[in-house]
Structure 1
Amino acid sequence: MHIPRRRQRSSMRIAPRLNLPGRPGAKLRLDVVQVAVTSRCNASCVYCPHTMYRKQWINQDLDPALFEAMLPALSGVKRIHLQGWGEPFLHPNLVDFISQAKRAGLHVSTTTNGARLDPKLLEAAVAAGLDDLGLSLAGVTAEENDAIRVGAPFEAVTETIARVHSLASKRPVPTLHIAYMALASHRQSVHRLPALMAKLGVSEGVVSALGFAPDRHLEEEGMLARNDEEKRTLRSFRRSMFQLSLAAAFQGINLYYQLPRPKRRKSCPENVDSSLVVGADGQVAPCVMGRLPVKGNCYHWYAGEERLYAPMVFATLDADPAGQLAEAASGQARREFLRTFRNRPPQSCLQCVKRHMAPE
């Protein structure tokens, strides 16, 4: 869910090329495989399903044996992102995962709230070869951020960035970027983000609107316009973001953003045609929205109505993780999903705010 999509444009293609599952050397030909190493999180962000569905949430760590067993299928993948609906640095084996992925020849990224990333753990992750590190924020000051991202303090992010910079003299360090959540009630704060990034020495930033609304109030925070006044407000904000990104570019800062448009788009910023997500439970889905780690029925809001959340799962990895992952990528369920995605998408996609998002 917080993978930087900075230079990607959503363009549907034929299902990715794949060696036939079951044959020796079968491997995925995808841009990204996102592995949700844990669904546990130390934070209680006010907008997150982890907070809103707390009683139904399944807290689980990915089995290290499962991770190791799936790696042979990933040799054709460009990048592995080690994060999902939880804080990745809570997994006791995350550094080992980074090392194993690097030995497999993968570009490795993750996104963190920084709260549990002490200097020793950070240095170990950097030494293991972590390529990209995203830091999550929802405000440009401690007062703003900490009221929204409860338990994920602003100071933890700034300290982590400073520590990465301090390690740069000793060894190669990961590229840093800010993953910024812009809520409707705090949308104007984002205009101070480039100044903060310049101060922190971070040159990449991705600003996102809320893509999932567990309740009615959060739907309003998501900025999906439903009337003329909201449409005018969003158009004005979009123009200001365009101007902000241009001004940031002159400072050497690449600021990307994705905001919802009233009309549903045929493509999706999750790039489902060239990526897969593996949950901490081993279930394979088209995107992080496709499989929340919850038990029982849960509901979300879309277009002013409460909707039943419907998961989408292609497979569950167990006996033969590498073979099953390859089969999930090329199997009938995913082929049918990709075939109908543009014009007749499944109900889950029709009720997803992400289908309104326009990366810019």
Structure 2
Amino acid sequence: MHPTPTYTPPSDADDAARVPVPAPFARLRRFPLDGALLLFDRDSGTNARCEGPETAHLRQRAPRVVQFGITNRCNLACTFCSRDTEARSEWTADSAFDVLSGLAAAGVLEVAFGGGEPWAFPRFEELVCRLHGETPLAVSFTTNGLALTPRRLAAVRGRYGQCRVSLYDDNAWRDTVARLADAGARFGVNYLVTPERLPSLETVVLELVALGCRDVLLLSYNGADRALHLSPDEARGLARRVALLGRALGSRCTLKLDVCWGERMEGVPRLFDRADCGAGREFLVLTSDRKVMPCSFHHVAIPAASADEVMAVWRGRREALASASRLPGCARTPGYGLESPATGGAA
């Protein structure tokens, strides 16, 4: 038997706790930023940022989100997957809970499970329920949907913030989206935008809306296959199309863009007004073989098996965590690593 950890706010959270906030937001969890205060509701995903003289002294003391690749197992074999297929899966439900409860105590707001396929991880639904019941963490997970049965969905109902479904050509995504919509689940869809998929973008998004999806996240490709990267002209055209599609959808569906698009999508509203993507600072990746990475596409991987070790990496390895990925597509690299030095154009 493992003793049940009791969540205790860190003593340095007192400054954030003393900042006055509007009464409707008083129940939300407080997360100090550098000079600001973030208020967060884990069940709805609501974020409210407060900034003024009352918050000028605050400093961020933890990453907001840990992206947890809890297993390296998957029931698909996508050629563009970013995970290290040779990495071992070393977590158990108990060891994962221990590290995440410690990170919650350090101030982390959210855990976003990925992999691999998180539903291939033993006792995953038990872990989700335990985290919701015994920590203040918001729990979300990204899945291909093939193992997300009605029984499993019912087991975690009301105990997670959001389910995100990755849309592939071979994962019966229409069935998954319809099942989630019928169940009243809080979910969204992740859609990787490639040159091949560009012509059908609006058609796919409108079909998702018709099936009941209300949240679509457009992902950019990061990796060595140049054929999967958009050219500068394609990226500019996509920005215009996304703006038009977003206005046409209105309140029926939220269209989002991942941080790796960087400044290729000018004029897109942001929760945090910054040029950098935030990898290694706002969020960390914890891998299946117990390493910390700035993001899933990065070459930096630092061993860490406990919450204390993860936080030590976050505090002490800032330069490494803030570096650019070596893979083409990184927003921290001039030209996103896609321009030819000789011509200044797309390679």
TM-score by length of 2: 0.68
- Residue 270 and residue 166 in structure 1: after superposition, are their counterparts in 2 closer, same or farther (change >3 A)? same
Residue deviations 1:287-335 (CA, integer Å, cap 9, x gap): 1122xxxxxxxxxxxxxxxxxxxx2123321xxx12212222212x23x
Tell me if 1:349 matches 2:325: yes
CA distance, structure 1, for counterparts of residue 283 and residue 207 of structure 2? 32
Instruction: Measure how far apart 1:108 and its partner are.
Output: 0.6
Give 2:193's aligned amino acid. Answer: A
Residue of structure 2 in register with 1:183 after alignment: 194
Alignment partner of 1:137 out of 153, 167, 179: 167
Instruction: Find the partner of 1:322 among 304, 307, 326.
Output: 307
Equivalent residue, structure 2, for 1:17: 60
Letter in 2 for 1:312: V
Query: For 2:248 and 2:313, how far apart are their aligned partners in 1?
Result: 43
Q: Secondary structure at the match of 1:288?
A: coil
Amino acid at match of 1:73: L
Alignment size in residue pairs = 270
Please give the secondary structure, in 2, of the residue aligned with 1:68: helix
Deviations 1:331-355 (A, max 9, x none): 2x23x336xx4xxx3xx53544121
CA deviation profile, 1:80-106 (whole Å, cap 9, x unmatched):
11113x111100121122122212111
Closer, same or farther: CA 64–287 of 1 in aligned 2, 3 Å: same
Aligned to 2:80: 47
On the 8 A contact 2:108/2:137 being kept in 1, the answer is yes
1:111 deviates by 0.7
Unaligned ranges ≥5, structure 1: 9-13, 19-28, 139-144, 147-152, 226-230, 291-310
Q: Which has the higher contact order (CA 8 A, sep 6+)?
A: 1
2:89 alignment partner in structure 1: 60
Which residue number in structure 1 is paired with residue 254 of structure 2?
254
Kindly indicate which of the two structures has a greater share of residues assigned to helix.
Answer: 1
Q: Which amino acid aligns with 2:304?
A: T
Distance in 2 (alpha carbons) for counterparts of 1:277 and 1:16: 22
Instruction: Check conservation: 1:108, 1:130, Cα contact below 8 A.
Output: yes
Contact residue 286 and residue 312 of structure 1 kept, 8 A: yes
1:92 aligned partner: 122
Q: Is the 8 A contact 1:107 1:131 kept in 2?
A: yes
Deviations 1:162-198 (A, max 9, x none): 3333434xxxx4x211100111122111111331122
> Match for residue 25 of structure 1?
none
In structure 2, do the counterparts of structure 1 residues 350 and 284 end up closer, same or farther at CA, with 3 Å as the change threshold? closer
Question: Do the aligned partners of residues 16 and 163 (structure 1) sit closer, same or farther apart at CA in structure 2, a change above 3 Å counting?
Answer: farther
Residue 38 (structure 2) aligns with: none
Change (3 A) 1:30 1:316: closer
Where 1:110 maps in the other structure, the secondary structure is strand
Aligned to 1:305: none
Match of 2:234 in 1: 233
Aligned pair partner of 1:79 in 89, 110, 115: 110
Partner of 1:285: 293
CA distance, structure 1, for counterparts of residue 264 and residue 206 of structure 2: 30
Distance across 2 between alignment mates of 1:273 and 1:132: 22
Question: Once the 2 structures are TM-superposed, how far is the Cα of residue 6 of structure 1 from its aligned partner?
Answer: 12
Q: Is the CA contact 1:194–1:248 (under 8 Å) kept in the aligned structure 2?
A: no
Q: RMSD of the TM alignment (CA)?
A: 3.2
By how many angstroms is 1:114 displaced? 0.6
Would the aligned equivalents of 1:6 and 1:256 in 2 still touch at CA under 8 Å? no
Post-superposition shift, 1:160?
2.8
Higher deviation after alignment, 87-96 or 192-201: 192-201
- Any idea what the Cα deviations from partners look like across 1:120-156, whole Å, max 9, x if unmatched? 12221226x1220001114xxxxxx23xxxxxx2x2x
Aligned-partner Cα distance in 2 for 1:160–1:15: 43
CA contact (8 A) 1:15 1:273 kept: no
